[in-house]
Amino acid sequence: MITPKKKQTEDSEKREKMKNDKEFSANKVRIMTLDFLLRVSGLVPPNNATPFLRFLNKVFLTVVFTLFILALLGQMMAVYVNWGNIPVISTDMSYMSGLLLTVSSCVYFLHNKYKFMRLIDLLRNEFVENMNSKYIKFIHIAERQIQLSVTLTAPVAVSLGTISIVVPFLNDSKISNFNNNTVNSNGNNLDRLMFVMWFPFSIEGSPQFEIILVLQMAVIFFSILMLAAVDVIFLSLMSHAAAQFKVLCAMLNDMHENVSEAELNRTKHTSQLQDIADFNLMKALVTSADDITCHESGRGNCGSPSFETRPEDRHVNRNAFRLYLVKCVKYHQAVIEFVNSLNEIVSLITSVKIVNFPPILCMTGFEMTQSFDNYEQFLQFATLFAISLLLIAAYCWFGQQVIDESEKVQLAFYSTDWYNQTPEYRSLLPLAIMRASRPLKVKAGVFFDMSFLTLASLVNVSYRYFTMLIQLHDS
């Protein structure tokens, strides 16, 4: 026979083991694992950086953004100087749009850096840390999706940077020479450059040409790296927002299992008193066959009022279901607030990406059609076209995930066995369903949201611009 003291010890060990397993599973999860790209690109100083390293980081950012601004000014002046030369303008605007997107994204991130960090801390400390260990798999899936998207886009981004740097040395013809129309600025030949720029001085001599070439290499390298670092943070937050809706649906589907576990853990705290009562019952004197029947069947008054079924105990499980539903509603509201906070931060910069995407796509597509006879140039613009398309497709795909997963919450609320629950439960459920009927969206400004419908509209607009550009060039 197991004594109450021994059973209490065993129950305590089980509770401690379950607690340690849950804490181990939660602490083992690492989210936002690709945030190291922010430190690699120099947008964020290293962890535990000294004041001197922080100062060097600020100097580095100042130098890099100065190069970006000078490059943008040179490209804008090149458009003005060569107005009417459609091939040159399209080439210039292809790189200028990408560089403008990089500068705006990075400046916006640095301006709202602490807002992003607070959102990341909220995700780690409030959602993942307090999550049931059996739902950690959804967090792992979200992380793998981000890693997969980076794995797919990284080779294209690296190819773009490598080709842009190598083409000037491999191509015997002049990069800025389209249909024998050489780009000039005050008589200075801008040949063999990575992208078209206007200079107020001659760059034909040495070391001016080498310095400009190295600076253009730095602009291309850091622009790709910084843009990738910022985009990874945006996409990671979107992916984890969709994962939280998956967790909520799983919690609702596992309602009976989770409530049973909660009730089991609650009753374990009173197991000592119950074991003592059972032990005293076994020692009680049995004087008749009626008493034996009473103890075995649990019917009648067995001499102890503590074993009578109280009316309030009959609905303890149903009250637990209502409390669990309240917990899920609060969790749903927390995820909604998280998505709203995400929209407040990324809405402006995503609208810039939406507006900037059609010009990049149509310009690069136009240059691809004009450089079939030049393999190096065709490959250069093809990689720029591919990375632009992959970037906007990733945004729309993760945004569509948020919409789809938030729509499933309504069905998950309704799929609970509300017909077997208390009136309090049934009165609360319609309010939760009504709120879940409005899907959450990652906004891109006022007029757009990140979804497949937006992606289709952008591709359609880009194709219209592309055909218009072809007609202008042919005429």
In the structure encoding, which two tokens stand for residue 375, read together? 């393999």
What's the pLDDT score for residue 433?
92
Q: What pTM, to 2 d.p., does this model score?
A: 0.77
pLDDT in tens, 263-316: 655 555 444 444 444 444 444 444 444 443 443 444 444 443 433 433 433 444
β-strands 448-449, 443-444 pairing: antiparallel
pLDDT in tens, 63-84: 999 999 999 998 888 888 888 7
What's the pLDDT score for residue 263?
63
Helix, strand, coil share (%) of the chain residues, nearest 5: 75, 5, 20
Q: Cα-Cα-Cα-Cα dihedral of 423, 424, 429, 430, to 10°? A: 70
**Cα 209–chain centre separation:** 42
Q: Where are the beta strands (DSSP E) in 193-270?
A: none
What's the pLDDT score for residue 377?
74
Burial class (CB in 10 A: 0-12, 13-18, 19+), 291: middle
What's the pLDDT score for residue 312?
39
CA angle (256 as vertex; 253, 259 as ends), nearest 5: 115
pLDDT in tens, 89-121: 887 888 888 889 899 999 999 999 899 989 988
Residue type, 347: S
Query: What does each of the 475 residues of the chain score in pLDDT, given as a tens digit?
Result: 445 445 455 555 544 544 444 443 444 567 777 888 888 888 988 888 899 999 999 999 999 999 999 999 988 888 888 887 877 888 788 888 888 989 999 999 999 989 998 998 888 888 888 888 888 999 999 989 898 888 888 888 787 777 777 766 665 444 343 333 344 444 344 456 777 888 887 777 777 788 888 888 889 889 988 998 999 999 999 999 999 999 999 999 988 888 876 665 555 544 444 444 444 444 444 444 444 344 344 444 444 343 343 343 344 456 888 888 999 999 999 999 999 999 999 888 888 888 888 888 888 888 888 777 777 777 778 888 888 888 889 999 999 999 999 999 999 999 888 888 888 888 999 999 998 988 899 988 878 889 999 999 988 988 888 888 888 877 7
At residue 177, the 3 state secondary structure works out as: strand
CA distances from 215 to 40, 43, 291, 398, 470 (A): 19, 19, 97, 35, 33
What's the pLDDT score for residue 265?
59
Q: How far apart are CA 141 and CA 246, in angstroms?
A: 11
Q: Which helix (H) or strand (E) holds 448?
A: strand 448-449
Q: How far apart are CA 76 and CA 89, in angstroms?
A: 10
CB-CB neighbours of 462 under 10 Å: 22
What's the pLDDT score for residue 29?
60
Q: What is the largest CA-CA distance in the chain?
A: 120
Cis peptide before 207 (omega within 30 of 0): yes
What's the pLDDT score for residue 106?
92
Q: Which residues pair with 305 in a beta bridge?
A: none
Report whether 445 contacts 351 (CB < 8 A): yes
Q: Where are the beta strands (DSSP E) in 69-195?
A: 177-178, 181-182, 184-185, 188-189
- Rama region for 198: left / alpha / beta (φ>0; ψ in -120 to 50; rest): beta
